[in-house]
Structure 1
């Protein structure tokens, strides 16, 4: 438990809590919190369970991982694993959409849980999106026609893999394939896997073991760029299109309210 004391203190501070507030939330004394943070005492199992539920992070991660580099108190759960999930917010504490550029999409597999990597991505805000955390992912190839290679899928982060709606499309970050966009079917109970299906029938369906799924994002909208060739698309023009789309839809929302 070499990391536990520092992790408790670090995440408490990230959440903006004093020891008194934290102790009150967990229904223990402030001195008890202090003893755990200063590594003068080892928390019992029942406290670790409460701590895990409060932080929304597994006991295993709290004990075995150094979370001191985390700059955001948000976490995700994929399958039975919890991983640090950096979310970018603006000055009003509203979620921003990070845009994963085509040239950096291969690096997303290495940097998806790295706050520094996420921090350096271009960001926009789309006011028309539903509640949730969204990112914009580049699409390569023709497996999901009519979505063209070079287009972007804006997708909402899904916390529970089990909440997949069969037949809907998702961005799936997998251990071996990186970013893929497919129609997904939940076969976890039968096979411990997800079935990935392309809309272009020349590509065969295939299975991905659930323990290889790192992130899951549900389709919200696509920016199809049929009038452009792939080499003509730049990140700045994609960001401009997304932002303009947000402005236009926000104005329509005002008109029809």
Structure 2
């Protein structure tokens, strides 16, 4: 709700953190935290990255969007474009489809990527990992020598 309250405030927008990612170029992007169960496959703590949609005429059926409305932020697939609204559906089939009036839409961000901390990076400077690779290398060398001896 903080974003919805401050999205029109230039000072608030300027205070948002900046981050550069090599796979995001030539556009305006923003990351939003996933919350609740209507955003599968994304769990709480995942950041959903969207590319700003300049005009509502750019929306495409069967694409996924982060939609900022006066009532909140939703992550939905676009099911249908109506004369004065869009029909959206959740990835969670528990939820029914519903319409959002164009007049209620503040911003739309097209889904690009999601960032999660579910996977940890392996620190290759760690001696345990290094020892594991050296042991594997030795095992492979022994296997090659055994195969050569059998031929």
TM-score (norm 1): 0.44
The whole-number CA distance in structure 1 between the counterparts of 2:88 and 2:4 is 18
Q: Which runs of 4+ in 1 moved over 6 A?
A: none
How big is the alpha-carbon RMSD for the aligned residues of Structure 1 and Structure 2? 1.6
Residue in structure 2 matched with residue 185 of structure 1 by the alignment: 79
Q: Which residue of 2 aligns with 1:216?
A: 108
Asked if 2 retains the 8 angstrom alpha-carbon contact of 1:139 and 1:152, the reply is yes
Spell out, residue by residue over 1:206-237, the C-alpha distance to the aligned partner (whole angstroms, 9 max, x if none): 11111000100001100134469xxxxxxxxx
Structure 1 residue runs of 5 or longer lacking an equivalent are 1-105, 229-257
Match of 2:19 in 1: 124
Aligned residue pairs, count: 120
Could you tell me the TM-score, scaled by structure 2's length? 0.73
Higher share in strand: 2
Is the aligned partner of 1:197 residue 2:89?
yes
1:216 aligned counterpart, secondary structure: strand
Contact 1:170 1:183 survives alignment (8 Å): yes
Residue 140 (structure 1) aligned with residue 32 (structure 2): no
Structure 2 unmatched ranges of 5 or more: 121-151
In structure 2, C-alpha distance between the alignment counterparts of 1:224 and 1:188, rounded to whole Å: 34
Tell me the distance in 2 between the aligned counterparts of 1:109 and 1:145: 22
Aligned pairs for 1:70-219 (under 5 A) are 106-176=1-71, 178-189=72-83, 192-219=84-111
Which residue of 2 is the match for residue 72 of structure 1? none
Larger Rg: 2
CA gap of 1:168–1:122, structure 2 versus 1, over 3 A, is: same
- Could you tell me how far apart the structure 2 residues matched to 1:223 and 1:200 are? 19
Q: Greater helix share, 1 or 2?
A: 1
Contact residue 80 and residue 88 of structure 2 kept, 8 A: no
Conserved in 2, the CA contact under 8 Å of 1:171 and 1:217?
Answer: yes
